[in-house]
Amino acid sequence: MPRTARALGAVLATIVPLAAFTLAAPAASAAPGPRPAVDVIAHRGSSGAAPENTLAAVKLAIAHRSDVVENDIQRTKDGELVIMHDTTLARTTDVEQVFPDRAPWNVRDFTLAEIKRLDAGAWFASEFKGERVPTLAEWVNAVGRQAGMLLEPKAPELYPGIETDLDKELRSLPVFDHALRSGRVVVQSFNHPWLRAYKDLAPDVPVGLLFSNKPTEADIAAAATWAQQVNPALGPIDQATVDQVHARGLEIHVWTVNAGQDMRRAIGWKVDGVITNYPQVLRDILQRG
**21 lies in some domain:** no
85 carries an active-site annotation: yes
Question: Is-above-0.75 flag for pTM?
Answer: yes
- What residues contact residue 223 under an 8 Å CB cut-off, 6+ apart? 209, 215, 230, 248, 250
- Kind and range of the H or E run holding 258: none
H/E run at residue 81: strand 81-83
Q: Specify if 282 maps to a domain.
A: yes
In a domain? residue 7: no
Give the closest residue to 287 by CA, choosing from 57, 60, 46, 30.
30
Strands 73-75 and 81-83: antiparallel
pLDDT of res. 25: 37
Domain total of the chain = 1
Q: Is 250 a member of any domain?
A: yes
Read off the CATH number of the domain in which 125 is found: 3.20.20.190
Specify if 27 maps to a domain: no
**C-alpha distance across the termini of the chain, in Å:** 25
Domain residue limits at 95: 36-288
d(CA 243, CA 271): 9
Q: Give a yes or no: residue 25 inside a domain.
A: no
The per-residue pLDDT for 289 is 82
What is the structure's pLDDT at 144?
Answer: 98
Give the contacts of 233 (CB within 8 A, at least 6 positions apart).
211, 212, 213, 254, 255, 256
Tell me the C-alpha distance between 75 and 261, whole Å: 37
pLDDT for 84: 98
Domain presence at residue 3: no
Q: What share of the chain is helix, strand, coil (3-state, %, to 5)?
A: 40, 15, 45
Per-residue pLDDT of the chain (289 residues; tens, 9 = 90+): 444 443 444 344 334 433 333 333 333 333 444 444 899 999 999 999 999 999 999 999 999 999 999 999 999 999 999 999 999 999 999 999 999 999 999 999 999 999 999 999 999 999 999 999 999 999 999 999 999 999 999 999 999 999 999 999 999 999 999 999 999 999 999 999 999 999 999 999 999 999 999 999 999 999 999 999 999 999 999 999 999 999 999 999 999 999 999 999 999 999 999 999 999 999 999 999 8
Q: Which of 85, 178, 192, 246 is catalytic?
A: 85
**Beta-bridge partner residues of 230:** 209, 252
pLDDT of 37 reads 84
* Residue type for position 165: D
Q: Examine the residue annotation and report whether 253 is marked as an active-site residue of this protein.
A: no
Asked whether residue 140 is assigned to any structural domain, the reply reads yes
CA-to-CA distance for 273 and 245, rounded, in angstroms?
13
Of 261, 263, 260, 243, the closest CA to residue 252 belongs to: 243
Catalytic residue among 43, 64, 178, 246: 43
Listed in sequence order, the residues at least 6 apart from 68 whose beta carbon sits closer than 8 Å to its beta carbon are 39, 40, 41, 42, 147, 148, 149, 150, 184, 273
CA 154 to chain centre: 11
Q: What is the distance between the alpha carbons of residues 6 and 66, in angstroms, rounded to a whole number?
A: 23
